[in-house]
Amino acid sequence: MADVVVVGAGFAGLAAARELTRLGRDVVVVEGRDRVGGRSATATVAGVPVDLGATFVGPTQDAVLALAAELGCPTVPTYNRGKNLIRWRGRVRAYRSTIPRLSMLELVDVSRIQWRFDRVSKRVPVAQPWTSPIAADLDAVSLDQWLRSVHAGASTRDLMAIMARVTWGAEPDAVSMLHAVRYVKAAGGLGRMLDVAGGAQQDRFPAGTQQIAQRMADALGDKVVLGAPVRRIQRRPDGTLTVHTGPHAFAARAAVIAVPPQHRGDIDFDPPLPPQHLELIRHWPQGKLSKAYAAYQRPFWRDAGCSGEALSDEGPVFITFDVSPGDAGPGVLLGFTDARTFDPLPPEKRREVALAGFAALFGEKAREPTDYLDQCWSAEPFAPGGPTAAVPPGSWTAHGRWLRSPVDAIFWAGTETADEWTGFLDGAVRSGLRAATEAHQELIRRS
């Protein structure tokens, strides 16, 4: 018997377990994978740690930055000196700001749409977006439909499509406008969410993000049980719970479920969850986003004054960053790839098309790496999909109020449930702290 069983050893679950332990609660964390970290996983390419999932942190992400500092996990600035590149309409051009150098008319249109988007966001409360007087109208359309309704030009729509792919792992026609507005507002605005300097991509962890999860798990010791996918959760008449993981069962007075909303459906709840929660699960799907890394003897693109940041309106690589450890090398390019066309390919073909994407931006040297690695999250055998939920039209107004509404002594965590930096590591940590407090207060109430 534990006070609380936490399901999921990602940043949200481990942050919840850590906080509950600090509050004097007896905790067990059960995780289906054979590792901790959830959507944070660190591997190596050419001996350099690289993040297969969550990578960057930036200003105002105070929860994860405080946690990392406490655990002794330093950050370094993301390299962004020099010119950025964009492959656009068959040409590669350079630019030096967040917004690529387009024609004057295109730039005016981008600014106009950003202004309209920001104006709409002022009318949407992050905590309860369904209460906005314009919620029904915004939730009735996709981001793409809204862009067309305000006569956004083709270039603006294509730039927003790149933003949607890297943010939600989905196209603009798959994401509710209400969700888009709420998500961006939770990050502090489009500029804060998209920028490197002063934005969400400002810094990264040279040893990877998974070390943070590992250090949280190490402190919890044998309270973290790996390779234990939760199959069933029983709620008993006396208010206690039994969490079944196949051969094992854990009894508890409360539970924190720290998995993406879609994957709540992988658990058999007995008795079943209320109908509203079941509908939420069905209408909160995960997006699909993949990554490719290529390593070289040194970051040769810096010789040409390039930052390593690039955008492309052709796939499969549509955005890149320089995550090299230094000028001397190795040089490491990170590319986000379109999972729809990338993931079905065999490994050698994925390598070929990813390197072709790098070469189209940085030249033929990019075809000859010393090492290569990619990650297809949608092909994961356990809890597939990422980086976060791609919430479709109609979902927030119909089901959003149940996203983190407790069911008896079951509480919900995960970055999708956060009101600040939803979808990011910081949101995950904040959600774990909130759920831990809710569970702790419920146990006090029942004592």
Looking at residue 99, what is its pLDDT? 72
Residues near 381 by beta carbon (within 8 Å), at least 6 away in sequence: none
| DSSP assignment of 167-194 | HHSS-GGGSBHHHHHHHHHHTTSHHHHH
Give CA–CA dist 391/369, Å, rounded.
37
Show the beta-strand stretches assigned E in 209-316.
224-225, 232-235, 241-244, 249-257, 268-270, 290-296, 306-312
* Torsion over CA: 444, 405, 231, 7 (sign): negative
C-beta of residue 158 within 8 angstroms of C-beta of residue 147 = no
Structure tokens of 341? 């066309």
Q: Render pLDDT for 313-356 as a digit per residue (tens, 0 to 9).
A: 998 999 999 999 999 999 999 999 999 999 999 999 999 999 99
Q: Tell me, what's the pLDDT at 278?
A: 98
pLDDT at position 65: 98
Q: What distance, in Å, lies between the first and last C-alpha atoms of the chain? A: 15
pTM, two decimals, is 0.97
Quote the pLDDT of residue 93: 92
381 close to 299: Cβ distance less than 8 angstroms: no
Closest CA to 227 of 10, 38, 35, 385: 35
Backbone φ and ψ for 82, nearest 5 degrees, come out as: 105, -165
Backbone CA torsion sign across 139, 145, 148, 153: positive
Q: Please name the helix (run of DSSP H) or strand (run of DSSP E) that holds residue 5, with its range, or none.
A: strand 2-7
Cis ω before 325 (30° cut-off from 0): no
Distance CA 409, CA 375 (A): 36
pLDDT score at 344: 96
* pLDDT < 50 regions, the chain: none
Q: What is the reported pLDDT for 386?
A: 85
- Is 178 exposed, middle or buried, given 0-12, 13-18 or 19+ CB atoms closer than 10 A? buried
